[in-house]
């Protein structure tokens, strides 16, 4: 049961925000923030009001049922209403608990997605390319903006590594469950005897961090410049435009050479470095807060096998929730993507509620 004081605080906060927003005296700098807070509370306030009147409404109905002078028709109506009241109370309680769950401050951020070919040679790099195309299609479908940061190609259209930023609404909260090892089972084009091969690619999704979110001292960085190289070792530039940034305290290092400008390469490299440092700190804090951090959902562990794409059977299986969809083609086209994401999100919420 949620403390009545907590529910009354929600209702009171909604009322105060309503008055403040209609007064016209709120500073423009915080108006958008207050409006969002009010909008969020607006979705829950009626449920909150019904939740705290539950006991009173229940007593009134029980009085009718206990009154010996009440006719049968009214008793039947009161019994039905009492059942409905209890059902609604349970729904409201779950909704309020979800609302009161600690929010991940990174959920509303944009994301940086890194895809790397894993075990499986050329087939692994082709699968990495397929995954990147899938995220491109999901982004297009959701009207997100995907921007390429760096790319390293292999033979036959495969990808050794690709890093991109994705901008839009609540990107990280949607894509954070994608971090981990994605496994593919299929017959490669080069396989003459029709044998199914298993390959893998790793995906890492990091919240994109602004400078205001994470301050990095220049004194903590070592920046090396070098000449960018292309396939086969051939020179791409005749100037030292490629940049390697090393964060000395953590040992994290990022290289960037896709742009012809050293300044642009440094800016892209810093974007990746900030995201990785931010995620490193988040992981450290999570481990300190909870020994039970490695729950089934959302660990973000890149070494954890999370999903299998089986082409011969046309299925995609998410191992964290034991969910299998026989919609592999639709999934890779971005059409059935939300079915797994919504199930993962729901399971993560249930796990969080269970810890309350």
Residue 8 DSSP symbol = H
User: What distance in Å separates the CA atoms of residue 31 and residue 37, rounded to the nearest whole number?
Assistant: 10
- In DSSP notation, 151-217 reads EEE-GGG-EEEEEEEEESSSHHHHHGGG-EEEEEEE--TT-SS---EEEEEEEEEEE---TTT----
Same domain, 115 and 206: yes
Q: CA 300, CA 351: separation in Å to the nearest integer?
A: 16
Confidence of residue 134 (pLDDT cuts 50, 70, 90): very high
State what percent of residues in the chain have pLDDT above 90. Answer: 43
Instruction: Give a yes or no: residue 106 inside a domain.
Output: no
Task: Report the CATH number that the domain containing residue 276 is assigned in CATH.
Answer: 3.30.160.20
Whether pLDDT at 304 is above 80: no
Question: What is the C-alpha separation between 126 and 115, in angstroms, rounded?
Answer: 12
Of 164, 139, 134, 167, whose CA–CA distance to 151 is shortest?
A: 164
Distance CA 346, CA 356 (A): 16
Q: Does residue 145 sit in the same domain as residue 278?
A: no
- Residue 288 has a pLDDT of 59
Same domain, 258 and 310: no
Q: Are residues 201 and 223 in the same domain?
A: no
Q: Are residues 179 and 320 in the same domain?
A: yes
CATH assignment at residue 171: 3.30.70.1660
Parallel/antiparallel/unpaired status of strands 221-226 and 197-207: unpaired
My answer on whether 158 and 229 are in the same domain is no
- Residue 67 located in a structural domain: yes
pLDDT of residue 242: 85
Is residue 233 a part of any domain in this protein?
A: yes
Instruction: For residue 105, tell me if it sits in a domain.
Output: no
Domain count along the chain:
3
Report residue 93 as tokens. 């309680």
Query: Does one domain contain both 23 and 93?
Result: yes
Same domain, 152 and 75: no
pLDDT of residue 293: 42
Is residue 126 domain-shared with residue 18, that is, in the same domain?
no
Say if 242 falls within a structural domain.
yes
pLDDT at 295 over 60: no
Tens of pLDDT along 96-106? 887 887 777 78
Contact 157, 129 (CB under 8 A): yes
Whether residue 307 sits in one domain with residue 206 = yes
Confidence of residue 290 (pLDDT cuts 50, 70, 90): low
Within-domain flag for 80: yes
Query: Same structural domain for residues 206 and 308?
Result: yes
Q: What is the mean pLDDT of residues 245-263?
A: 85
pLDDT, mean of residues 139-148: 94
Helix, strand, coil distribution of the chain in percent, nearest 5: 50, 20, 30
What is the average pLDDT score of the chain? 85
Q: What are phi and psi of 61, to 5 degrees?
A: -70, -40
Q: How far from chain centre, in Å, is Cα 199?
A: 25
- Full residue range of the structural domain in which residue 69 is found: 4-100
pLDDT for the residue numbered 239: 63
Q: Is residue 9 part of a domain?
A: yes
User: Nearest CA to 10 among 40, 34, 36, 53?
Assistant: 40
What is the average per-residue pLDDT within 305-321?
95
Indicate whether 233 pLDDT > 70: no
Do residues 158 and 189 both lie within one domain? Answer: yes
DSSP letters spanning 94-132: HHHHHHHSPP-TTTTS-EEEEEEE-SSHHHHHHHHHHHH
Q: Where a domain ends, among 52, 74, 100?
A: 100
Q: Which of 191-200, 201-210, 217-226, 234-243 has the highest mean pLDDT?
A: 201-210
pLDDT reported for residue 337: 93
Q: Is the pLDDT of residue 236 over 60?
A: no
- Residue that finishes a domain, picked among 75, 100, 125: 100
Q: Do 99 and 39 form a contact (C-beta atoms < 8 A)? A: no
For residue 166, give the nearest of 157, 176, 158 by alpha carbon.
Answer: 176
Separation of alpha carbons 235 and 212, rounded Å:
37
Distance of alpha carbon 38 from alpha carbon 33, whole angstroms? 9
Written as six digits, the tokens of 297 are 């959902």
Q: Which of 73, 100, 127 is the last residue of a domain?
A: 100
> What pLDDT was estimated at residue 178?
95
Share of the chain above pLDDT 70, in %: 89
Enter the pTM of the model.
0.69
Which of 270 and 15 is assigned the larger pLDDT?
A: 15
pLDDT at 292 over 80: no
Sequence-distant (≥ 6) Cβ neighbours of residue 58 within 8 angstroms: 82, 85, 86
pLDDT of 21-77, one tens digit each? 888 788 877 888 888 888 889 989 999 999 999 999 999 999 988 888 878 889 999
**CA 131, CA 332: separation in Å to the nearest integer?**
7
Q: Which residues pair with 204 in a beta bridge?
A: 114
- Residue 340, CA atoms < 13 Å, CB-side half-sphere: 31
β-sheet bridge partners, residue 244: 224, 255
Confidence band for 232, pLDDT divided at 50, 70 and 90: very low
Q: Is residue 294 part of a domain?
A: no
Look at residue 212 in the predicted model and tell me its pLDDT.
Answer: 58
148-206 per-position pLDDT tens digit = 998 999 888 899 999 999 999 889 989 999 999 999 999 987 676 778 999 999 999 99
CA distance 124 to 309: 12
With H, G, I as helix, E, B as strand and everything else as coil, classify residue 287: helix
Q: Is the pLDDT of residue 294 over 50?
A: no
- Would you place residue 299 in the very low, low, confident or very high pLDDT band (cuts 50, 70, 90)? very low
Rounded mean pLDDT of 104-128? 90
């Amino acid at each position: 049961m949620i403390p009545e004081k907590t529910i009354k605080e929600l209702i009171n906060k909604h009322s105060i925000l309503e008055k403040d927003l209609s007064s016209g005296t709120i500073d423009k700098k915080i108006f958008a923030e207050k409006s969002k807070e009010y909008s969020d509370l607006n979705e829950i306030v009626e449920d909150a009001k019904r939740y705290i009147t539950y006991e009173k409404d229940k007593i009134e109905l029980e009085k009718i049922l206990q009154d010996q002078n009440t006719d049968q028709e009214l008793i039947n109506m009161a019994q039905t209403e009492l059942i409905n009241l209890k059902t609604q109370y349970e729904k409201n309680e779950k909704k309020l608990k979800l609302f009161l769950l600690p929010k991940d401050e990174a959920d509303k951020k944009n994301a940086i997605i890194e895809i790397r070919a894993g075990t499986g040679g050329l087939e692994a790099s082709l699968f990495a390319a397929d995954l990147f195309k899938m995220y491109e299609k999901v982004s297009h479908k959701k009207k997100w903006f995907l921007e390429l940061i760096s790319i390293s190609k292999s033979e036959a259209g495969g990808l050794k590594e690709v890093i991109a930023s994705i901008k839009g609404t609540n990107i990280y909260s949607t894509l954070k469950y994608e971090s981990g090892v994605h496994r593919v089972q299929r017959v490669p084009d080069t396989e003459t005897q029709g044998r199914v091969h298993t390959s893998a690619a790793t995906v890492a999704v990091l919240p994109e961090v602004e400078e205001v979110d994470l301050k990095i001292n220049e004194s903590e960085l070592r920046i090396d410049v070098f000449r960018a190289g292309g396939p086969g070792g051939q020179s791409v530039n005749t100037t030292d435009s490629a940049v390697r940034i090393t964060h000395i305290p953590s040992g994290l290092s990022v290289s960037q050479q896709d742009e012809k400008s050293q300044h642009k390469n440094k800016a892209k490299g810093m974007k990746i470095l900030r995201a990785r440092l931010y995620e490193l700190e988040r992981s450290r804090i999570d481990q300190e807060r909870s020994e039970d951090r490695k729950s089934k959902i959302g660990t973000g562990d890149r070494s954890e096998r999370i999903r299998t794409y089986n082409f011969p059977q046309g299925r995609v299986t998410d191992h964290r929730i034991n969910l299998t969809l026989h919609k592999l083609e639709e999934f890779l086209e971005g059409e059935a993507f939300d079915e797994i994401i919504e199930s993962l999100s729901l399971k993560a919420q249930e796990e969080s509620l269970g810890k309350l």
